[in-house]
Structure 1
Amino acid sequence: MSFMLNTFLLTFLALLIHRLSKVGRRPAGYPPGPPTLPLIGNLHLMPKEKGHLQFQKWAEEYGPVYSLILGTQVMIVLSSDQAVKDLLDKRSGIYSSRPDMYLGNIVSGGLRMLLMEYGETWRMIRKVVHNNLNIKAARTYVPYQDLENKAMLAGFLEEPDCFVDHIRRYTNSLTTQMVFGFRTTSIDDPKLKQLFYGFEQFCAVTGTTTAALLDVFPFLRVLPDFAVPLRKYAKELHSKERELYVGHFLNAKTALKNGTAKPCFCVDLVRAQDEEKFSDDLAGYVSGSLLEAGSDTTAATLVGFVQAMVLFPEVAKAAQEELDLVCADKLPTMDDEPKLPYIRGAVKESMRWMPTDILGVPHAVIRDDEYMGYKIPKGAGVMWNVWAIHMDPKRHPDPRRFDPARYKDDRQTAAEAASNGDATKRDQFVFGAGRRLCQGMHIAERSLFLAISRLLWAFDFDKALDKDGNEIVPDADDLTEGLFVLPKPFPARIVPRSAEKAERVIAEWKKMEVLLDEDLQWKVLPEGLIWKDYKHATEA
């Protein structure tokens, strides 16, 4: 008996040593990548900051498809437009899941659509979202965008140093209207501040070394919270996040059911909840995810645009010449968009030059696959290296220059560009790929066009001065860290182009105020919105 036990233990130990000897190695047939070390693979090479620059260097060294061995996990990195098209788009049936992001899911309570694995729940949510964010629906939201844009212009006029706050209120208020039925009227709104702070912390947590270690060595998850303090913090973030998102949803749900709410996305969400019987927590995170997506990424792009105008004054001047020729003394509208190719180019270039999802949110492949002669194993994470594609000098000569003229012959919408069969014709990659393509891109494009065209029509942008009168030059490469990024805080000098334009901004906002009640909410909603009044599923 003792002999058999000893034999078993020796065999088990030998198998364990054999298995461990393979951890961290790059198996034959995998895409190339940096040299590995036993057990940890490439973990020791992973940068603690400015990771996009290292991922770009590896693409230059190892090619458009390379692999990183991260402990027990494999990450396949796609760094060319063609690779993204071939795998994430054309093979989306097996490339649309997500790798397990342990701390990210703790912050999210496992409910954030962004991180959700491909499956029935995700498909159900996607269908509900599509009904409210498709291109037909997006056209009906222009009155919301027009109102919030004019409020933002008035804010720039009154408090230009708070331009980031005004941008964030603009994108947030548009989204709270569409999702929950109310406007966010002040840059000091505590729920507005909580949203942006909370999302910044979510991005920061998911980008830490601790998060990476817990993903690639799952056995570390058994450690208690005192040994993994970041997990305790992630739980605290979830508590605050849940309170915000579920609270917004429950307020809308109660108002819808008693007939006092404005029509909004939550109409369809509550109907879906009646039919599918999912929890208020999931509903809160569905609506909260839309609030995040509509508020944060568009705002980050516009902050990047302001920085670009400060750094490239010749671009602002060229854009203003086009605006003056087409629009003269009236604010640009969506009807002017076809006649403003340089402004359309500025919208596209803003997303290319400062991509918010700088390394994308990794996909995961659900079965073994092969590409370019390489094996891509089931369960591997698949990263679309947005920065490397956007900064490829063969694709975009002098890529760190902000140049809207790159797109002078490109009349595609972002959705048309993303679905173009020719991968080289896609304008930018910030809206994702395949079945994970952002469904709000039609709305985001319009918000960006109205903001960029009107800000340039009304204001001049210049470098701020320090106390000694010296110009403060923003660093375009000084970005925040994490899953989504934006420029770190920088000053700018923003002044009206003329007294007449300032007066026009004030007059346009006064016209809008007539449409609002004493709480600055809509008295009567614009016509043409897609939502109907709420009815229980059994009544419809």
Structure 2
Amino acid sequence: MALLLNALPVVVAVAIVIRLLLSGRRPKNLPPGPPTLPIIGNLHQMPTRDAHLQFEKWAREYGPVYSLILGTKTMIVLSSDKAVKDLLDKKSNMYSHRQEMYIGQTLCSGDLRILMMGYDARWRMCRKLVHSLLNVSAAKSYVPYQMLENKQMLYEMITQPERCMYNIRRYTNSLTTTMVFGWRSSTYEDEKMMQLFDGFSKFAELNQTGLAALVDFFPWLRFLPDFMLPVRATAKELHKKEKALYLGHWLKAKEETKAGTIMGCFSEDLVASQKAEGFSDDQAAYITGTLLEAGSDTTSSTLYAFVQAMILYPEVQKKAHEEIDRVVGPNRMPTMDDERDLQYIRAIVKESLRWMPTTIMGAVPHAVTQDDWYEGYLIPKNAGVVNNVWAINMDPARHPDPRRFDPDRYKDDFQSLADAAANPDASKRDQFTFGAGRRICPGIHVAERSLFLGVSRMLWAFEFSPAVGKDGKPVLPDQERLTQGFVCQPEEFPVTITPRSEARRRMVEEEWAAAQREWLDAATGQWRVSPLERKARKV
């Protein structure tokens, strides 16, 4: 017995060493993937920037379904339309979970961010509430908000064309704050709007860093003291500031709802839902805050990519101008009623989403809730599942010469974005930017209308051309230089924005002036009259 007791520590030590050596290896029944190293698996091969290019390269090398071993966790990467349809869509009851994200969800988000919640009753409740704002019927009702914000954006393209990206960001943010909270962001310099973009950028950057990822892939690191894990303090501080911002927005909307002074918006309905469901103000703050993040960042990134495409592909802009002039003419701006007759403009929207997908790696990976088998390979329970958006959108079998911006790819595609995503034929889906399955972006209907109005009206009013450098030569942006993080867009670039005629310039100015007189309070720039009801409200 004494001999056995003396040998026990050695046995335990050997077992631990064996377990560590086996960790990081790829089991034989998993999909193929790049070679691994003991303990770390493929962690040493994960790029620190432009990860989409490496993930696309692996897809061409190992096939449409491949695996990565990241420390103690397994990642399955889906890089074909068929795989996404077969798993994330058809088996969405199994593939809608999330892996545990200690830094991103627990510390940065207080376990409140819908984007990172597991597939449970709380997520389903939040999703149902969000759907009430963003379903197709609700999206149609908010078009008047989009029209007004669009008019200000066009006016700002005339008065401050050097701030193109910021004009677009204000448009999408103000639209989102109006739909969610009932108030506008009338200027990009709004302190709370700048805090939103800055905070989400820091959140994305933090969750892309190596140390944050290591804490997720090796959970035992969480037991290290704070001085050895500085990312913990950073994450907690970020959450503190973010929560204060979102909670302030929510409590103000809640107070105005109870006072009967709020504009028609999502928060007005959420107050009633809170009474019925009993969720906390903190959770309500993150439900509305999540909508604010998604609506502000993704649509603006796509519109900014569209502007870059017009600079780099002037033949597309010329063809678009011709269609708008033929269908709409010079005496009025396009409206949503023109959408069915502006198929080339619709195609530009779809091609912008394909050519520069904002959720370039599918944002946050799904996770599978039980062992599954696909095409002879095991997809193990709790594995992360990546929707490799870039690789699918850039698949030359789907889209020949994929880095060329060519709206004619969609000349015969009359589906809405949502209809295309739900098409049972995976090859008929237009693009994969909005995700898949039960985790598909619920804002797809609102985004489609914001994008159509943004693209059609900017093309009606302006010509976009390269800026001219000090040497007198055009400065062309590099379409491969993208920002990093959950949501990507082209790196900021200079652009020359020219009204297509003096008459169109005057119309943009007059339309914005008329909209201000009719709808807005002159002192505050906030809504004086609700366009949803045609009656005055005291606000």
TM range (shorter): over 0.9
**1:258-297 alignment, distance < 5 Å:** 258-297=259-298
Contact 2:32 2:62 in 1 (8 A): yes
Offset of residue 204 of structure 1: 1.0
Equivalent AA in structure 2 for residue 231 of structure 1:
R
Q: What residue number does 1:137 align with? A: 138
Distance in 1, Cα, partners of 2:164 & 2:67:
41
Offset of residue 209 of structure 1: 1.2
Q: What residue number does 2:383 align with? A: 380
Q: Tell whether 2:479 aligns with 1:476.
A: yes
Q: Tell whether 2:216 aligns with 1:215.
A: yes
Contact 2:360 2:388 in 1 (8 A): yes
Q: What residue number does 1:355 align with? A: 357
Q: Tell whether 2:244 aligns with 1:243.
A: yes
Equivalent residue in structure 2 for 1:520, among 525, 530, 535: 525
Distance in 1, Cα, partners of 2:490 & 2:173:
19
Distance in 2, Cα, partners of 1:224 & 1:320:
61
CA displacement 1:47-88 (0-9 Å, x = unmatched): 111110000000000000000011101000000000000000
Larger deviation, residues 107-116 vs 450-459: 107-116
Give aligned-pair identity as a percent.
59
CA displacement 1:228-265 (0-9 Å, x = unmatched): 22322222211111111111001111111122222311
Equivalent residue in structure 2 for 1:456, among 439, 455, 459: 459
Contact 2:262 2:268 in 1 (8 A): no
Equivalent AA in structure 1 for residue 345 of structure 2:
I
Q: What residue number does 1:73 align with? A: 73
Q: Tell whether 2:21 aligns with 1:41.
A: no
**1:292-331 alignment, distance < 5 Å:** 292-329=293-330, 330-331=332-333
Distance in 2, Cα, partners of 1:231 & 1:306:
39
Backbone CA RMSD of aligned residues:
1.2
Q: How many residues align?
A: 529
Q: Tell whether 2:505 aligns with 1:502.
A: yes
Q: What residue number does 1:120 align with? A: 121
Equivalent residue in structure 2 for 1:335, among 334, 337, 341: 337
Distance in 2, Cα, partners of 1:202 & 1:528:
38
Offset of residue 439 of structure 1: 1.0
Offset of residue 276 of structure 1: 2.1
CA displacement 1:15-45 (0-9 Å, x = unmatched): 2222222101000110000011111111111
Offset of residue 224 of structure 1: 2.5
Offset of residue 111 of structure 1: 0.8
CA displacement 1:351-402 (0-9 Å, x = unmatched): 0011011011200001100001000000100001000000011100111111
Q: What residue number does 1:536 align with? A: none
Matched residue SS, 2:529: coil
Equivalent residue in structure 1 for 2:494, among 491, 505, 513: 491
Distance in 2, Cα, partners of 1:490 & 1:211:
31
Matched residue SS, 2:484: coil
Equivalent AA in structure 2 for residue 237 of structure 1:
L
Equivalent AA in structure 2 for residue 368 of structure 1:
D
Q: What residue number does 1:534 align with? A: none
CA displacement 1:413-454 (0-9 Å, x = unmatched): 111001100000000111110000111110000000000000
Offset of residue 333 of structure 1: 0.5
CA displacement 1:66-123 (0-9 Å, x = unmatched): 0001110100000000000000000000100111222211221211111111101100
Offset of residue 197 of structure 1: 1.0
Q: What residue number does 2:537 align with? A: none
Contact 2:264 2:532 in 1 (8 A): no
Equivalent AA in structure 1 for residue 520 of structure 2:
L
Distance in 2, Cα, partners of 1:258 & 1:337:
39
Distance in 1, Cα, partners of 2:40 & 2:449:
45
Q: What residue number does 2:367 align with? A: 364
Q: What residue number does 1:5 align with? A: 5
Q: Which runs of 5+ in 2 are unaligned?
A: 535-539
Contact 2:464 2:496 in 1 (8 A): yes
Matched residue SS, 1:331: coil
CA displacement 1:461-516 (0-9 Å, x = unmatched): 11111222222110111111112111111111111111111011011112201221
Q: TM-score, normalised by structure 1?
A: 0.96
Larger deviation, residues 457-466 vs 4-13: 4-13
Matched residue SS, 1:74: strand
Matched residue SS, 2:87: helix
Offset of residue 528 of structure 1: 5.7
Distance in 1, Cα, partners of 2:341 & 2:263:
35
Offset of residue 458 of structure 1: 0.4
Distance in 1, Cα, partners of 2:437 & 2:431:
14
Q: What residue number does 1:535 align with? A: none
Distance in 1, Cα, partners of 2:302 & 2:226:
36
Q: Tell whether 2:416 aligns with 1:416.
A: no
Equivalent AA in structure 2 for residue 279 of structure 1:
S
Equivalent residue in structure 2 for 1:394, among 388, 394, 397: 397
Matched residue SS, 1:36: coil
Distance in 1, Cα, partners of 2:111 & 2:409:
41
Distance in 1, Cα, partners of 2:477 & 2:211:
31
Q: Tell whether 2:86 aligns with 1:86.
A: yes
Contact 1:157 1:502 in 2 (8 A): yes
Q: What residue number does 2:443 align with? A: 440
Q: What residue number does 1:231 align with? A: 232
Equivalent AA in structure 1 for residue 340 of structure 2:
P
Contact 1:107 1:234 in 2 (8 A): yes
Contact 1:140 1:528 in 2 (8 A): no
Contact 2:367 2:383 in 1 (8 A): yes
Distance in 2, Cα, partners of 1:104 & 1:309:
36
Q: What residue number does 2:108 align with? A: 107
Larger deviation, residues 39-48 vs 7-16: 7-16
Q: TM-score, normalised by structure 2?
A: 0.96
Contact 1:516 1:523 in 2 (8 A): yes
Distance in 2, Cα, partners of 1:6 & 1:20:
23
Equivalent AA in structure 2 for residue 91 of structure 1:
K
Contact 1:205 1:482 in 2 (8 A): no
Contact 1:101 1:206 in 2 (8 A): no
